[in-house]
């Protein structure tokens, strides 16, 4: 029998929760990806004009990577207070921080105006973006996971994950439109600011929707139980995570390696590779990422639904192995120099990436107990981003500069795939776990799913 907190919510209420998480994550990822695209296209000229073009791109990607460095700190702070105060409050704060930083980038003077202060200010604002996103992801996926029907958790929790391709789609679409309508000089002069300033409007829409949803019932139940325990002080969520879930944190970090590195090579570094090594136009590269992101958005819920039927691990392992196998054909297709081959390379890459990204939300949520779930899921996901997504475009660009070949880049992605295969391979299946139940190992939860659960007095 399901506990009250884990009973399926009313369909309309669940759809509103999913919509609030999806729209919020879309806006946050729009802001984050917009920076990545701008770093590849114009920031090297605007903020590092004295460097060689490829070196300028490296420096631009270095400020891009700084945002990832701030994400673990955001995960720690937002995770702590999200486990203490609730998911909703912290999600509102993260949206405001991200939107404010992005809007400020749109107003930022360039190197030509204020000299070296320009890249310094750009780096500070990128840090704020990273800090906010480090807290956003965990709260958004938990809000849906803890509201949703356990039998379809993989499907429903995958919808906030579609915020990444939706944000990529929106950011790339706006940039593509502007580059098509404006001359290079106009875009480099003032056109690049428009997408960043647009974030201010998007944040207002996101706040209006996000403020309308309720706090997670699973969290409310756990908080009420915690408040009745007066015998001893409750440990900090971070301490509890490291004490009881250190293995799960390492598994989550390993699982993120191929997913994160593969994604940023396919979507961010590709803008550099296609326009330099393959001699394709900026507009062509943007259009390919734009169309592929739309397909990515569509397939993520399907992968999430499949994880409800056959498990999180099989789907995740399939995605990781497939991305590794695709890397050499990926660059071979791009090297052909035509749009159709470029589009096929990026689209297939993102479809295969979706098999990792879709079940990730439910998979990570199911690893941790309620009162440490925000911290555990966020720490596992965001600490990995420092070693994975942060340096991925930087390393790929450096390898291209050093070897003038895509082979080392393919091997770099394949190495990350091997790490992910090991991490997910040693993990336990989690799809049968009831998030409202006292903490149990995934294997215990799977066995218990076939028989009525005993009501106990264990803490959540």
Q: Where residue 167 falls among pLDDT bands split at 50, 70, 90?
A: confident
CB neighbourhood size of 459 (10 A): 15
d(CA 85, CA 239): 17
Check residue 253 and give its pLDDT: 94
Tokens of 232: 């001893």
CA distances from 447 to 66, 322, 451 (A): 44, 31, 8
Q: Where residue 56 falls among pLDDT bands split at 50, 70, 90?
A: low
Burial class (CB in 10 A: 0-12, 13-18, 19+), 220: middle
How do residues 349-368 score in pLDDT, each as one tens digit? 999 999 999 999 999 989 88
- Mean pLDDT, to the nearest integer, of 303-324? 97
Q: Give the range with max mean pLDDT: 93-107, 125-139, 433-447.
A: 93-107
How do residues 286-301 score in pLDDT, each as one tens digit? 889 889 999 999 999 9
d(CA 155, CA 373): 19
Residue 107, classed as helix, strand or coil, is coil
d(CA 99, CA 208): 14
């Amino acid at each position: 029998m399901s506990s009250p907190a884990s009973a399926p919510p009313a369909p309309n209420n669940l759809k509103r929760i999913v919509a609030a998480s999806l729209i919020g994550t879309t806006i946050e990822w729009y802001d984050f990806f917009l920076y990545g695209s701008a770093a590849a296209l114009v920031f090297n000229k605007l903020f590092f004009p004295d460097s060689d073009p490829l070196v300028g791109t490296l420096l631009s990607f270095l400020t891009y990577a700084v945002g990832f460095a701030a994400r673990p700190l955001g995960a720690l702070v937002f995770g702590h207070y999200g486990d203490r105060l609730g998911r909703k409050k912290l999600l509102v704060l993260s949206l405001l921080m991200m939107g404010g930083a992005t809007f400020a980038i749109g107003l930022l003077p360039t190197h030509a105006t204020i000299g070296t202060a320009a890249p310094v200010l750009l780096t500070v604002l990128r840090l704020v973006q990273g800090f906010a996103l480090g807290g956003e992801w965990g709260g958004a996926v938990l809000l849906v996971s803890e509201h949703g029907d356990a039998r379809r958790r993989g499907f429903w929790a995958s919808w906030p994950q579609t915020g990444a391709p939706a944000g990529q789609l929106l950011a790339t679409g706006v940039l593509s439109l502007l580059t098509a309508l404006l001359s290079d000089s106009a875009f480099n002069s003032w056109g690049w600011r428009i997408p960043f300033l647009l974030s201010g409007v998007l944040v207002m829409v996101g706040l209006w929707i996000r403020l309308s949803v309720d706090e997670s019932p699973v969290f409310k139940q756990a908080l009420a139980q915690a408040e009745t325990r007066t015998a001893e002080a409750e440990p900090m969520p971070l301490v509890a995570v490291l004490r009881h879930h250190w293995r799960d944190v390492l598994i989550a970090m390993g699982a993120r390696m191929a997913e994160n590195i593969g994604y940023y090579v396919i979507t961010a570094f590709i803008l550099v590779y296609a326009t330099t090594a393959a001699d394709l136009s900026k507009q062509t590269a943007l259009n390919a990422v734009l169309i592929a992101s739309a397909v990515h958005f569509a397939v993520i819920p399907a992968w999430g639904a499949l994880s409800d039927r056959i498990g999180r691990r099989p789907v995740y392992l399939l995605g990781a192995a497939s991305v590794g196998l695709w890397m050499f054909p990926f660059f071979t297709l791009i090297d052909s120099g035509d749009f159709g081959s470029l589009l096929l390379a990026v689209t297939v890459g993102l479809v295969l990436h979706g098999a990792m990204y879709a079940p990730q939300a439910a998979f990570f949520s199911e690893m941790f107990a309620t009162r440490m779930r925000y911290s555990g899921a966020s720490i596992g996901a965001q600490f990995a981003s420092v070693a994975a997504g942060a340096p991925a475009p930087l390393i790929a660009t450096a390898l291209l500069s050093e070897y003038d070949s895509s082979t080392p880049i393919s091997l770099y992605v394949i190495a990350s795939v091997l790490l992910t295969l090991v991490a997910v391979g040693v993990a336990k299946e989690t799809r049968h776990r009831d998030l409202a139940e006292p903490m149990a190992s995934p294997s215990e939860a799977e066995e218990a799913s076939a028989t009525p659960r005993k009501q106990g007095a264990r803490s959540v």
